[in-house]
Each structure stands twice: as C-alpha cells, then as structure tokens.
Amino acid sequence: DSGVTQTPKHLITATGQRVTLRCSPRSGDLSVYWYQQSLDQGLQFLIQYYNGEERAKGNILERFSAQQFPDLHSELNLSSLELGDSALYFCASSPRENTEAFFGQGTRLTVV
C-alpha cells in the first residue's frame, strides 16, 4: 500500500458525461501528479500540483481540469467524455518536487 488513495476504483459512464476522480495523497506529501494510461498512448503525464498551485501541465485536454485543495487532496474533472477517454487514471504524490512519486491504484474509466 503506497498510502495514496484514489476513488472510485472503477467508473463506467456514457459519452458526453462529466466525471470527477478523487485523490488523497500520502500524509505530508505536498505534490500531486495525475497520469493517464492507455494501451495505445502508454503512461501520459497530465498535470502536477504543489501545495495547491499548478506546477506543470502535460498532455492534458482542454476538456479536463484539476485542482488541489487546501487539505492537499486533488480532483481531476473530465467533461464531454469520449470513447477515447477510456483509460486508467493514476494519481501520485511526493513529499517535494523532483523526488520519487508514490502511485495510487488508479481509477479505471470506461466510456460507453
């Protein structure tokens, strides 16, 4: 158990819908990362927050947004969902920037 908690574990929704994925980082970790993993794209970095501030953006679509709250938990919002958004979404946390990240078990999103 990495100490990073992601909910829900599985999510099935229809095209056009909006979903929110939640991440609770390890106790004391200030940095939160979001990644998308699919068979065709591999592991793609989406976005990083550090102590509530956005620090880096990767291949995140405009339909996707995220935030980190004062209690350091983070949410990833996915809207206008398409079939191609079906993937595993991972959250990871680290105590500081530049150090190793600890991954949650992921949320498997299926868009039908």
Q: Does 97 bind other proteins (CB under 8 A)?
A: yes
Nearer to other proteins, 67 or 79 (CB): 67
Is the Cβ–Cβ distance between 12 and 108 less than 8 Å? no
Q: How far apart are CA 9 and CA 57, in angstroms?
A: 24
The percent of the chain in helix, strand and coil, each rounded to the nearest 5, is 5, 55, 45
Residue from the set 92, 93, 109, 111 that interacts with other proteins by CB under 8 A? 92
Residue from the set 32, 64, 104, 109 that interacts with other proteins by CB under 8 A? 104
Binding span for other proteins by CB under 8 A among 12-20, 61-69, 75-83, 90-98 = 90-98
